[in-house]
Structure 1
Amino acid sequence: MARSKQNKSCFKRVSIGVLAALLSVGVAKSFAEDKDVKGMQSIQFRKVIDLSHVISTTIPLWPNDPPVTFDVVATQEKDGYYLRRFSIGEHSATHMNAPNSFHPNAIGIDAYKPESLVRPAVVIDIRTQARDNPDYVIGVQDIEKWEQANGRIDQGSVVLFYTGWQALWNDPKRFINEDAKGPHFPGVGAATTKFLLEERQIAGVGIDTHGADPGQDTVYATNSQILAKDGIVLECLTNLDQLPAKGTTLVIGVLRLKEGSGSPVSVMAFVP
């Protein structure tokens, strides 16, 4: 039994090391020299957490976004197999935004290199602030408070913000929280994003609301800043409560839609 457990542990370490090695094939010199990428060539983990919601026709949608539809096009009884066609907006469900959604002539979701989608992650819990104020703007003080307890955020990290909004996913009206002034949910302030990009050199952010920007931000400053650098913006994440404050590695799977403005994604968190 002891030997079996040892082999299982070894498999967990080597399998992700192989994944990182495969993803690094053909990497440009500048990226290969990036220390945060080098540090992920071998990853140890105890469990894998899926940070993506199940996609259905009842998921919360951004105002005026197209509905999610599924249509049966083949059945086992008639055709010998089961097949559906589906339709979904590029920024619906758990998804990643692409630079061309905010910047003309920028890259689409299909242009991200695979190695850029394997990233260390930290989780900053702002549930208390969000509970008291649904329009809470995440500030630099929230970053500094987290770092006082956990140490400096590593270069190349994706910073995940746990607002508690994931618990509202099955209640679309409350999740979007829209009134005459628009949606109301917490998000990352413009100055905070600037600080994270310039002072911590992060790779991007993720959040369990429908937007990295606060719901009342109509200029999408956080998205704009990060995507101007071809960074990562993940929205509508879930299961952030199951992650530690630091040490997790994310593997992000995108649909490589030609010139896509974004894509529903499968986000796997490898937890040490």
Structure 2
Amino acid sequence: MVRAILKPKLVLILAALCGCRAGSAFPEPKLVDLTHPFNDRTIYWPTARQFDLQRVAYGRSAAGHWYASNDFCASEHGGTHLDAPIHFAEGRRTTADIPLSQLVGPARVIDIRSKCDANRDYLLTPDDIVEHERHYGRIEPGDVVLIHTGFGRFYPDAKRYLGSDVRGRTDELHFPGIGEAAARLLVERRVDMVGLDTASLDHGPSRSFIAHQVLNGADIPGLENVANLERLPPRGATIIALPMKIEGGSGAPCRIVAVMP
């Protein structure tokens, strides 16, 4: 079964990366960057260490040539990043253990913006998934499901994006996420990754982080703080999400790109 899924997926990946179209041998593929920049405004979990860039050198060296270099330090979980399955599931894959084939796949974008505008703490439901499938076809094994809440438009304003800009406090967070039943349905669909344009797979008020538990428990990585979802179609793009390969990592900063149809 794994081989049956993997072979057509590799064909899709090669086609997307080559940008193959009839009548042109090497056309330029259209790429959309789904990654927020890392800087002093990058959104991190309120209790996590912020991104810190320290300049080491920037100018002419003693030998006369130009030289620039920096040090940086940050939590694994902040900005546009990947949650490895081990983040909420003991014994599951670390960041470096995730197969490359799982980090590339067909995108399915589920639009719940209107519901999130009405309720900041909205949770994705199985009905939302089924409604998407009614219009765009069943979600297939190996798909990358992205939940478009619309909250990406608030980034990097922590007050609007998270519901609170108070460092060290998590009891006032309000933003949408994925409900337990919806997470279980995505596991049943055997998707490769799940992501969204908020700070967490679970909604702001969560204390159990059940969506993380369900998805990570099935060895499904999460993508958080995904940018520019409004630029993707509901179906047809290909996602490439490459995290820093941190051995033993529970997550990592991630450059996410969509190859458009």
Pairwise TM-score range, normalised by the shorter structure: 0.7 to 0.9
- Cα deviation 1:150-204 (Å, max 9, x = unaligned): 1111221111011111111121121111388331111110011101211x22122
Question: Could you say which residue in structure 2 is the equivalent of 1:8?
Answer: none
Correspondence for 2:5 among 34, 44, 58: 34
Cα distance in 1, alignment partners of residues 159 and 131 from structure 2: 32
Letter aligned with residue 128 of structure 2: D
Aligned to 2:127: 141
**What is the CA deviation profile of residues 100-132 of structure 1, one whole-angstrom value per residue up to 9, with x for unaligned ones?**
221233321011111221111110111100000
Q: 2:160 aligns with which of 174, 179, 190?
A: 174
CA RMSD, 1 decimal: 1.8
CA separation of 1:180 and 1:77: change in aligned 2, threshold 3 A: closer
Specify which of 97, 103, 115 is matched with residue 129 of structure 1: 115
Partners of 1:162 and 1:73 in 2: how far apart?
Answer: 39
Q: 1:202, 1:180 → 2: CA distance?
A: 30
- Indicate conservation of the 8 Å contact 1:119/1:249, yes or no: yes
CA distance in 2 between partners of 1:93 and 1:195 (Å): 27
| Cα separation, 2, equivalents of 1:101 and 1:186 | 20
Seen in structure 2, the aligned counterparts of structure 1 residues 41 and 235 have a Cα distance that, compared at 3 Å, is: closer
Letter in 2 for 1:195: L
SS of 2:131's equivalent? helix
Query: Structure 2: 5+ residue runs without aligned partners?
Result: 20-28
Distance 1:182 1:191 in 2: 24
What is the Cα deviation at residue 42 of structure 1?
Answer: 3.7
Corresponding pairs, count: 242
Does 2:194 correspond to 1:205?
Answer: yes
- TM-score norm. by structure 2 comes to 0.87
Structure with the higher fraction of residues in helix conformation: 1
- For normalisation by structure 1, the TM-score amounts to 0.84
Q: Distance in 2 between matches of 1:76 and 1:32?
A: 52
Note the C-alpha offset of 1:41: 4.8
The answer to whether the 8 Å contact 1:61/1:172 transfers is no
Distance 1:173 1:223, change over 3 A: same
Match of 2:36 in 1: 53
Counterparts of 1:183 and 1:221 in 2: how far apart (Å)? 16
Pick the aligned partner of 1:191 from 181, 201, 206: 181
Hey, what's the Cα distance between the residues in 2 that align with 1:101 and 1:138?
21
Aligned twin of 2:78: 92
Does 1:74 pair with 2:57?
yes
Cα deviation per residue 1:183-234 (whole Å; 9 max; x = unaligned)?
1111110011101211x22122110000111111211111111112221210
Q: 1:162 touches 1:207 (CA, 8 Å); kept in 2?
A: yes
Deviations 1:71-101 (A, max 9, x none): 1112223464000001111001100001222
Alignment correspondent of 2:217: 228
Distance 1:271 1:140, change over 3 A: same
- In the TM superposition, residue 254 of structure 1 has moved relative to its aligned partner by 1.1
- Conservation of the 8 A alpha-carbon contact between 1:158 and 1:232: no
1:27-57, CA deviations, whole angstroms, 9 ceiling, x for partnerless residues? xxx7443255245254245511010001101
State the AA in 2 paired with 1:131.
D
Q: Residues of 1 paired with 2:160 and 2:227: CA distance?
A: 16
